[in-house]
Amino acid sequence: MPDDQIRLMGTYEIGIRLGISRQRVYQLSRRPHFPSPVAYLRQGKLWLFEDVETWITVHRHNRAPLGKSVDKPGGEDDR
């Protein structure tokens, strides 16, 4: 991916990344240590990929590794 592209995550992507529901993502996003969203759309909030990954590293380091899907058997790559 070119360096000038912004990578964003919504509640769906964060939920898949952590293996939790979108509702749980909304609960976590209300906590003071969760990154601030960078955009508010009709369908929901958006966060910078890098901000969410940093938060996961610090606060939820025991969750699914980057690039692995928790909803596919064997943690197959999403690519």
Top CATH class of 8-75 equals mainly alpha
pLDDT above 70 for 47: yes
pTM of the prediction? Answer: 0.73
CB 41 within 8 A of CB 47: no
Q: Mean pLDDT throughout 49-55?
A: 97
Q: Which residue has the higher pLDDT, 64 or 7?
A: 7
pLDDT at 1: 61
Return the axis-axis angle of helices 49-59 and 11-18, rounded to nearest 10°. Answer: 30
- Domain map of the chain by residue range? 8-75
Nearest partner of 36 among 46, 22, 24, judged by Cα = 46
pLDDT above 90 for 64: no
Q: Mean pLDDT throughout 20-45?
A: 96
**Secondary structure (DSSP) of 11-63:** HHHHHHHHT--HHHHHHHHTSTTSPPPSEEETTEEEEEHHHHHHHHHHH-TTS
